[in-house]
Amino acid sequence: MATIYQVAELAGVSLATVSRVMNGNVKVSEKSRAKVQSAMKELGYQPNIIAQSLASNRTNRVGVLVSELSGPFFSYMLAVVESALREEGKHAIITAGHSDVAKEQEGIEFLLGCRCDALILHIDAISDEYLLKLKERNVPFSLINHRIDEIADCCFTVDNEQGGYLAAKAVIDCGHTRIAYISGPEFKEDARMRLNGHKRALAEAGLTFDEALHYRGNYNEDGGKEGFDQLSEQRFSALVCANDEMATGAMYSARKHGLDLPHDLSIVGYDDQVFARYTYPTLTTIKNPIAEMGSMAAKWVLKEVYNINTTETIHNTFEPKLIIRNSIEENT
Amino acid sequence: MATIYQVAELAGVSLATVSRVMNGNVKVSEKSRAKVQSAMKELGYQPNIIAQSLASNRTNRVGVLVSELSGPFFSYMLAVVESALREEGKHAIITAGHSDVAKEQEGIEFLLGCRCDALILHIDAISDEYLLKLKERNVPFSLINHRIDEIADCCFTVDNEQGGYLAAKAVIDCGHTRIAYISGPEFKEDARMRLNGHKRALAEAGLTFDEALHYRGNYNEDGGKEGFDQLSEQRFSALVCANDEMATGAMYSARKHGLDLPHDLSIVGYDDQVFARYTYPTLTTIKNPIAEMGSMAAKWVLKEVYNINTTETIHNTFEPKLIIRNSIEENT
DNA sequence: AACATAAATGAAAGCGCTTTCATTGTTTGT
DNA sequence: ACAAACAATGAAAGCGCTTTCATTTATGTT
């Protein structure tokens, strides 16, 4: 592996000049530049990025922490983030936090230990105070799917309230009036917001939110099954679930109770997971702009930390979108 | 950030001794060790891994190239690989190859440019010659889902032939005798192997493979739909598909043709994708031991490159497994 | 032509470690 | 008790770059 010395020697210049040609931040005469570039080519020179990192105190690494590496949501986001970073020659170091305070903190410490220049975090469990303290430590990071008012400019979130609204609106627009709801765990911010949006849609349509038609689920398929079982004592023609897993669970139970889907019951999910296109009937759901969020979080880092400006302006909240499939029908 | 000098000073030893305490490969007296350790704790010392890398010519980075970062198969594998590596203090640098020769090569060059100590590759397009040349360049790597005889010890593959066999066997065991098959693209090794296994199962049961009951698909949902449409002119009670996407496509078409699933037609998929649990009826399929393969590929690297021995012995081929769900029924 | 100014360049220090080699202090064998 | 062997340690070089600062070279001005 050729070093900068050999390039300098072959080009007949000092290694400082070679370095300047590489980095392009200081002027170098055309003549020297040409000599250096041809020497680099001749030697097949590739800079040692480790040495560069040590000397410049820049690693060009960005740490990415997500709840899980597997799972459609995060893997899709990772894909977007990685390619945005790679485009600018930055390396993504990824790790998982598993929705657990200790593991998330450990993950962050791990990434910091890797001397990442910046972090992109999707956290579930860590407290705001911890994150604010991290900011104070001058660790640049952007936050996905979680908003802290004090540092709102680096938070990239989806309007879950609006998503909840759209999901309810979808069945309201089909003429449904008795609408059940299976919500997510209340400790999750997104679950609370989705429920709020749901209530807003009902109110707007002049419908009252009936606690008897509300089941508090856990975001898992089982929660959907149990939710339907409990709710089945009530009468309703539409069921909105706070995520797709619970929606499929509810479908399962509904069918077990002898319902013909979607004729006897309209169902709406949330997240537009890959499998939503494969359920029977295919699931009407709400799609989060994951790609946009991930890409924006990456761009924020590129801009703030590396001073790489995009033409695109940074914005922080993203709108969810209704995806209509076959699981809802006009109320008859 | 404290440096090794400050630790040495506080501990009253030379920095060489501090380094030795950290690395643990040279004997240090108990007294010195204790002094150093308490100094490290007092200063909150964290070694600068960049400097370590430069000095030791070891980056502790492992590059991971997969076809796609999104998608259940790879994201799950990534999760396993990452955690196996992290356990030993290695960092995974990930990137995607998008099943394209140029992009895969670019990805490998990128990872090499990151000075990874080793690579873990899942490639689709790159030629064996290229990979053999890479080995000659003394780049240590392990290969997932692809076998090259010359370097078989670093190849970790699933027995796709056996998987194809198991899929066919599942419906044969249910008493089906007229069995259709939708295969994957022939340029893919796994697709060919699955088909071979299918034929073997038929032969073993004394059934002949009928080309009229064979549709050459493309691994996509559409391929499944078109496949069923074409095959529907024939008479058969079971349909085996070379992957889950095509199976769901076929389900869709079958239902469109008025069939009652699984009563009128038993269907088997392959891959056990997440959505296989959500189709209706839920899909009987073949599960690849992705986690095991990923973990083994990581262990190979840990052992060969970092001399970290596990108790576990390395083995190279993995057995697929039949997952029985509701999409197949006894032939009546 | 002589000078002031600006542009290009090189020498060298330094980034924070690892590791070699020489040195010191401690055992062991006779 | 003394040489021989060994264990523990420190000094210093080196990993391949960036960057500062001093120096040289080119350019413009009168």
Q: Burial of B153 by CB count in 10 Å (0-12 exposed, 13-18 middle, 19+ buried)?
A: exposed
Distance A22 CA to C2 C1' (A): 38
A86 inside 8 A of chain B by CB: yes
B96: closest chain A residue by CA: A79
Residues B178 and B240 in one domain: yes
On whether any CB of chain B is under 8 Å from the CB of A76, the answer is yes
Q: What is the pLDDT of residue B68?
A: 86
Joined tokens for residue A211: 């606690």
CB proximity A91 to B under 8 Å: yes
Do residues B219 and B269 both lie within one domain?
yes
A79 with A19, same domain: the answer is no
Asked whether residue A54 is assigned to any structural domain, the reply reads: no
Cβ contact, residue pair A279, B274, below 8 Å: no
Q: Please name which of B136, B84, B95, B102 lies closest in space to residue B119, comparing C-alpha atoms.
A: B95
**What is the C-alpha to C-alpha distance for residues B289 and A288, in angstroms, rounded to an integer?**
31
What confidence score (pLDDT) does residue B280 get? 85
Q: Are residues B196 and B150 in the same domain?
A: no
Structure tokens at A266: 């309209």
CA–CA–CA angle B231, B235, B239 (5° rounding): 60
Nearest to A75 among B53, B71, B251 (CB): B71
Do A276 and A249 fall into the same domain? yes
Written as six digits, the tokens of A212 are 């008897």
Cα A49 from Cα B55, distance rounded (Å): 13
Q: Which domain holds residue A300?
A: 59-158+290-316
Query: Does residue B117 sit within a domain?
Result: yes
> Does some domain include residue B265?
yes
Asked whether residue B39 falls in the same domain as residue B120, the answer is no
Q: Looking at the complex, does the CB of residue B94 fall below 8 Å from at least one CB of chain A?
A: yes
pLDDT > 70 fraction of chain A, expressed in percent and rounded: 100
Instruction: Report pTM.
Output: 0.84
Q: What is the DSSP letter of B205?
A: T
Distance from CA of A196 to the nearest CA of B (A): 28
The CA distances from residue B280 to A92, A268, B276, B307, in Å, are: 38, 17, 9, 48
pLDDT (average), residues A211-234: 95
User: Which chain A residues are within 8 Å of B95, Cβ to Cβ?
Assistant: 82, 86
For position B67, what pLDDT does the model report?
A: 87
- Quick one: which of A118, A143, A134 has its CA closest to A61? A118
Mean pLDDT across chain A: 93
Residues B90 and B39 in one domain: no
Distance CA B230, CA B160 (A): 26
How does DSSP classify residue A208?
A: P
Q: Is residue A40 part of a domain?
A: yes
Please indicate, yes or no, whether residues A187 and A259 belong to a single structural domain of this protein.
yes
Residue B143, in any domain of the structure:
yes
Min Cα distance B55 → chain A (Å) is 9
Same domain, residue pair B230 and B197: yes
CB contact (8 A) between residue B69 and residue A49: no
The 3-state DSSP class for residue B332 equals coil
Nearest neighbour of B75 by CB, restricted to A54, A75, A83: A75
Question: Which range among A20-29, A282-291, A314-323 shows the weakest confidence by mean pLDDT?
Answer: A20-29
Please state the φ and ψ torsions of residue A70, each to the nearest 5 degrees.
Answer: -85, 180
How is residue A45 annotated by DSSP?
-
Task: Output the six-digit token pair for B49.
Answer: 């891994």
Judge whether residue A4 contacts strand D, using its CB and a 7 Å cut-off.
Answer: yes
> Chain B: nearest CA to A86, how far in angstroms?
9
- A332 falls within a domain: no
Q: Please return the burial class of B29, using the count of CB atoms within 10 Å of its CB with bins 0-12, 13-18 and 19+.
A: exposed
**Is residue B23 situated within a structural domain?**
yes
Q: What is the pLDDT of residues A14-29, one digit of tens each?
A: 999 999 999 988 888 9
Which residues have CB under 8 Å from B253's CB, separation 6+? B224, B225, B226, B227, B228, B229, B232
Same domain for B36 and B116, yes or no, is no
DSSP E strands: which ranges in chain A? 61-66, 91-96, 118-121, 141-144, 155-158, 179-183, 214-216, 238-241, 266-268, 285-287, 317-318, 321-323
Nearest-neighbour CA in chain A from B93: distance (Å):
5
Q: What are the tokens at B319?
A: 């057995």
Question: Out of A75, A110, A248, whose CB is closest to B278?
Answer: A248
Is-contact B232 B178, C-beta < 8 A? no
* Domain at A8, CATH number: 1.10.260.40
User: CB of B248 within 8 Å of any CB in chain A?
Assistant: yes
Chain A residue numbers touching B68 (CB-CB < 8 A): 79
Secondary structure (DSSP) of B110-146: HHHHTT-SEEEE--SSS-HHHHHHHHHTT--EEEES-
Question: What is the full per-residue pLDDT of chain B (332 aa) written as tens digits?
Answer: 889 999 999 999 999 999 999 998 888 899 899 999 999 999 999 999 999 999 999 999 999 999 888 877 788 899 999 999 999 989 999 999 988 899 999 999 999 999 999 999 999 889 999 999 999 998 999 999 889 999 999 999 999 999 999 999 999 999 999 999 999 999 888 899 999 999 999 999 999 999 999 999 999 999 999 999 999 999 999 999 999 999 999 999 999 999 999 999 999 999 998 788 888 899 999 999 988 999 999 999 999 999 888 888 889 999 999 999 999 999 98
Amino acid whose CA is nearest the C1' of D15: B55
Q: Read off the DSSP letter of residue A220.
A: S
Residues of B in contact with A274 (CB under 8 A): 72, 274-275
Answer whether B82 touches A (CB < 8 Å).
yes
B291 touching A, CB under 8 A? no
Mutate to test the interface with A, among B22, B66, B75 (most CBs of A within 10 A): B75
- Nearest nucleotide to A27 (CA to C1') is C8
**Burial readout B288-301 (b: 16 or more C-beta within 10 A, e: otherwise):** bbbbebbbbbbbbb
**Cα-to-chain-centroid distance, residue A33:** 43
From B325, B320, B324, select the one nearest B271 (Cα to Cα). Answer: B320
B17 C-beta less than 7 Å away from strand D = yes
CATH number at residue B134: 3.40.50.2300
**Cα(B115)–Cα(A308) distance, rounded to whole angstroms?**
24
- Any chain B CB within 8 A of the CB of A92? yes
B85 touches chain A (CB under 8 A): no
Cβ–Cβ gap A274/B279 under 8 Å: no
Query: How distant is the Cα of B163 from the closest Cα of chain A, in angstroms?
Result: 23
Q: Which of B50, B68, B86 sits opposite A95 (nearest CB)?
A: B86
Q: Are residues A181 and A231 in the same domain?
A: yes
Same domain, A154 and A82: yes
Write the residue in A49, A96, A115 that is nearest to B49 by C-beta: A115
Q: Which of A288, A305, A315 is nearest to A85 (CA)?
A: A305
pLDDT tens, position by position, B126-178: 999 999 999 999 899 999 988 999 999 999 999 999 999 999 999 999 999 99
Asked whether strand D has any atom less than 7 Å from the CB of B26, the reply is yes
Split into its structural domains, chain A has a count of 3
B328: in domain: no
Positions of chain C reached by protein Cβ under 7 A: 7-12, 14-20
Kindly state whether B68 is in contact with chain A, defined as any CB-CB distance less than 8 angstroms.
yes
Q: Encoding tokens for residue B162?
A: 């056996």
Residue A66: closest CA among A15, A104, A116: A104
User: What is B29-73 written as a DSSP string?
Assistant: -HHHHHHHHHHHHHHT----HHHHHHHHT---EEEEEES-SSSHH
Asked if B50 and A54 come within 8 Å (Cβ–Cβ), the reply is yes
pLDDT for position A307: 87
Other CB atoms within a 10 A radius of the CB of residue B100 amount to 15
- Whether CB of B28 is under 7 Å from strand D: the answer is yes
